[in-house]
Amino acid sequence: MKPDYKNWVPKYMVNSLIAGTIVMAVLFVIFGVIGVGLSGALRWIIFAALLLALLIVGAFLKWSIMAYRAFSYNGTRQLSKQIVEGTANYIKLPDSGTGLDVGCGSGALTIACANKNPNAKMIGVDRWGKEYSDFSNMLCCKNAEAEGVKNIEFRKGDACKLDFKDESFDAVTSNYVYHNVTGVDKQKLLLETLRVLKKGGTFAIHDLMSQSRYGDMQKFKQKLIDMGYESVELIDTTDGMFMTKREARCLRLGGSTLLVGKK
């Protein structure tokens, strides 16, 4: 049995865009080009409107196919795998220690961290909402079994209010999760994640930490240092670490940043 980590770009979205593009193309030909039942200025208005709609849907389709191929675990680029393993490299757990992965999705990062820390335990939490209906606790467990990883556990949880006491974990991590949480201050989400980190523990959180989403992260970094955190770094992962800036722009991953440090 092989693991199935799914794709960050759902297959149904790609298929929907393919269907939408075909429909728009047919409508454009019938009403825009041939002009069935239309004449005069109205025909040209319909022509322009359908052409614009076709171009927009086609552009979204082009992006979705490109992103699907880049994020696929079975493709040649394997960007998701590179990001997951690169983030997991920062999670160091002591023997018999425990780490937490917030927003574990299909279990990829949780499993990668567990693999790199065989004498410790990883816990992955996620709310597994309808937005990512392909992901589930059962899928995570199946992937862990396929990878032969036993030092692992998956639970339902909320990143906004983690069901753990302060300083419960030796390490905490997360990957491309918090930008999806709407209506919540992202820096508060980070502090909620760091709340459960033990003294001396490490953290590695990767997300789209742009100014518009996260505010001033340099000030937040200094805030963590003032709170007593050590070796706090903000690493631009679009500067050749995981991807180039050009690829990040094409895949709409601008602002991808890894926040790492120690408590």
Span 116-128, pLDDT tens digits: 999 999 999 999 9
Mean pLDDT score, 88-115:
97
pLDDT category at 132 given cuts 50, 70, 90 is: confident
- Looking at the domain assignment, is residue 23 inside a domain? yes
Mean pLDDT score, 7-34:
92
| Chosen domain end from 49, 71, 93 | 71
Residue 130 pLDDT greater than 80, yes or no: no
- Looking at the domain assignment, is residue 168 inside a domain? yes
pLDDT digit string, tens, across residues 155-164: 999 999 999 9
Residue 144 pLDDT greater than 80, yes or no: yes
Please indicate, yes or no, whether residues 58 and 142 belong to a single structural domain of this protein: no
- Looking at the domain assignment, is residue 2 inside a domain? no
CATH number for the domain spanning 112: value is: 3.40.50.150
In contact, 58 and 21? CB cutoff 8 Å: yes
Provide the domain count of the chain.
Answer: 2
Residue in 193, 219, 206 with CA at minimum distance from that of residue 259? 206
- CB count, 10 Å around CB of 206? 25
Instruction: Say what the pLDDT of residue 140 is.
Output: 97
- Looking at the domain assignment, is residue 241 inside a domain? yes
| Chosen domain end from 71, 102, 117 | 71
Mean pLDDT score, 90-118:
97
Please indicate, yes or no, whether residues 180 and 234 belong to a single structural domain of this protein: yes
- Looking at the domain assignment, is residue 83 inside a domain? yes
Please indicate, yes or no, whether residues 57 and 144 belong to a single structural domain of this protein: no
Please indicate, yes or no, whether residues 30 and 95 belong to a single structural domain of this protein: no
Q: Which residues pair with 204 in a beta bridge?
A: 173, 260
**Rounded-to-integer distance, Cα 253 and Cα 41, Å:** 42
Please indicate, yes or no, whether residues 30 and 132 belong to a single structural domain of this protein: no
Q: Which domain holds residue 86?
A: 79-262
Instruction: Say what the pLDDT of residue 74 is.
Output: 87
Instruction: Say what the pLDDT of residue 65 is.
Output: 96
pLDDT digit string, tens, across residues 157-185: 999 999 999 999 999 999 999 999 989 99
Q: What is the mean pLDDT of the chain?
A: 95
Mean pLDDT score, 16-32:
94
- Looking at the domain assignment, is residue 234 inside a domain? yes
Mean pLDDT score, 241-256:
95
| Chosen domain end from 51, 71, 91 | 71
Instruction: Say what the pLDDT of residue 129 is.
Output: 80
- CB count, 10 Å around CB of 146? 15
**Rounded-to-integer distance, Cα 126 and Cα 136, Å:** 8
**Rounded-to-integer distance, Cα 143 and Cα 1, Å:** 9
- Looking at the domain assignment, is residue 236 inside a domain? yes
The structure's pTM equals 0.91
Mean pLDDT score, 240-259:
96
- Looking at the domain assignment, is residue 3 inside a domain? no
Please indicate, yes or no, whether residues 31 and 89 belong to a single structural domain of this protein: no
Please indicate, yes or no, whether residues 181 and 226 belong to a single structural domain of this protein: yes
Please indicate, yes or no, whether residues 57 and 112 belong to a single structural domain of this protein: no
Instruction: Say what the pLDDT of residue 100 is.
Output: 98
pLDDT digit string, tens, across residues 25-56: 999 999 989 988 888 889 899 999 999 999 99
Please indicate, yes or no, whether residues 146 and 44 belong to a single structural domain of this protein: no
pLDDT digit string, tens, across residues 70-92: 999 988 999 999 999 999 999 99
Please indicate, yes or no, whether residues 247 and 136 belong to a single structural domain of this protein: yes
pLDDT category at 153 given cuts 50, 70, 90 is: very high
Instruction: Say what the pLDDT of residue 131 is.
Output: 73
Please indicate, yes or no, whether residues 152 and 56 belong to a single structural domain of this protein: no
Please indicate, yes or no, whether residues 18 and 127 belong to a single structural domain of this protein: no
